[in-house]
Amino acid sequence: MNKSSHQGPELFGNDSESGNWLWQYVQSMSPEMISQLSRPSSGDVYQVMERNIVGLLGNLPSEHFGVTITTNRENLGRLLASAMISGYFLRNAEQRMAFEKSLLASEANASEAD
User: What local confidence, expressed as pLDDT, does residue 19 receive?
Assistant: 58
CA-closest candidate to residue 97, choices 41, 49, 26, 17: 41
Q: What is the pTM of this model?
A: 0.51
Alpha-carbon span 78 to 85, nearest angstrom? 10
For position 37, what pLDDT does the model report?
A: 72
Contact 56, 79 (CB under 8 A): yes
> pLDDT by residue for the chain (114 residues), tens digit each?
444 444 444 444 554 445 588 778 878 888 888 777 777 777 887 888 888 878 877 777 777 778 787 888 888 888 888 888 887 888 888 888 889 999 999 988 888 877
Q: Which of 12, 9, 7 has the alpha carbon at shortest distance from 77? A: 12
Residues listed for the chain: 114
Letter string b/e over residues 1-28, b meaning 16 or more CB atoms within 10 A of that residue's CB: eeeeeeeeeebebeeeeeebeebeeeee
For residue 102, the model assigns a pLDDT of 92
